Amino acid sequence: MAGAFAEMKKEVLPKDYPNILAHNVNVYLLEGSNHTLSAMSPFAQKYSEKYLNKMGVIVKTGVFVKKYDGENVVLSNGETITSKNVIWSAGVIGNPIGGVPKDLLLPSGRIKVNRINRVEPLDSVFAIGDVAYMETEKYPKGHPQLANVAIGQAKNLAKNINRIMKENNPKLKSYEYRNLGTMATVGRNKALVDLPFAKFKGRFAWLIWMFLHLMLILSVRNKLVIFINWAWNYITKNSSLRLILLDDDMDV
Ligand SMILES: Cc1cc2nc3c(=O)[nH]c(=O)nc-3n(C[C@H](O)[C@H](O)[C@H](O)COP(=O)(O)OP(=O)(O)OC[C@H]3O[C@@H](n4cnc5c(N)ncnc54)[C@H](O)[C@@H]3O)c2cc1C
């Protein structure tokens, strides 16, 4: 997101709002851990930060946001950044529902489940995806909150429930997450790909990211429309993303 804003500042702002001087606009990325993309490899961490710096994003790692009053962002290192725009992207929290035993609820709102996603000791209550906290040998602190995990757990649980309904003594299959790789894009021609057997960056990584996302979008018509859009944006550098900025005294 910080990369996208940096690109908008460079490409869109001067065209659409020539009266706003781009050099007066700063994009900060505030990250509590010591690296950007901390869930990815050290390779991806190093290059994502390099890319962001190159794009003019002011990256501050190892700092937490302590307070924001609508004007000033106060950081854990005592620094204050003045800004009316703060985008909070520090994760999601589970929506608690009644009836779940308190000792199975984590502070993050995740619900502890066993290897078949059952909320033990409740016999017929299951939790899957982001809200499920399952400890395995490979993931002793629970799985990453990713779409693939949610889809995988849903498929595995559906099969297990079928077995429970059809068989007297069903043999249930434990869920196992197979990480096929992780990708992140920072900006135009700038992406990081971590595969179990290789790690790469730059334009090639960005093309792979685009290709896979295109393939995951459902219908052929959608794929075609998005491909044409992306190709047009790439050639013209004219992103369809738009900023709508209002003057303070505008009566809207
Ligand atoms: C900004 C962002 C970017 C992400 N990017 C990626 C990515 O690139 N790749 C990736 O793999 N994952 C990504 N994720 C994570 C991914 O979206 C989640 O892991 C995935 O959606 C989890 O699926 P889920 O079904 O568990 O939860 P959700 O998709 O969150 O679905 C839960 C649903 O339950 C509904 N709900 C909540 N409470 C109740 C209630 N009491 N009653 C009824 N309904 C309720 C919610 O409205 C929601 O629709 C991203 C997440 C975010 C926030």
Beta strand pairing call for 58-61 and 65-68: unpaired
pLDDT of residue 241: 63
Of 51-55, 166-170, 212-216, give the lowest mean pLDDT range.
212-216
Centre of ligand 1 from the C-alpha of residue 236, in Å: 33
Give tens-digit pLDDT for 75-111: 999 999 999 999 998 877 888 788 888 889 998 899 9
> Closest ligand 1 atom to the C-alpha of 131?
26
Confidence of residue 70 (pLDDT cuts 50, 70, 90): very high
> Mutate which of 95, 156, 182, 183 to test ligand 1's pocket (most atoms within 8 Å of Cβ)?
95
Centre of ligand 1 from the C-alpha of residue 158, in Å: 19
- Separation of alpha carbons 129 and 149, rounded Å: 6
The mean of the pLDDT values for the chain is 89
The domains located in the chain, with CATH, are 2-90+180-236 (3.50.50.100), 102-166 (no CATH)
Is the pLDDT at 44 greater than 90, yes or no?
yes
- Taking CA 201 as the corner, what is the angle to CA 13 and CA 130, rounded to the nearest 5 degrees? 80
Centre of ligand 1 from the C-alpha of residue 1, in Å: 18
What are the pocket residues of ligand 1 if the criterion is a CB atom closer than 6 Å to any ligand atom?
92, 95, 97, 129-131, 145-148, 150
Provide mean pLDDT across the span 109-115: 95
Provide mean pLDDT across the span 143-147: 89
Q: What are the φ and ψ backbone dihedral angles of 67, each rounded to 5 degrees? A: -155, 150
Centre of ligand 1 from the C-alpha of residue 90, in Å: 14
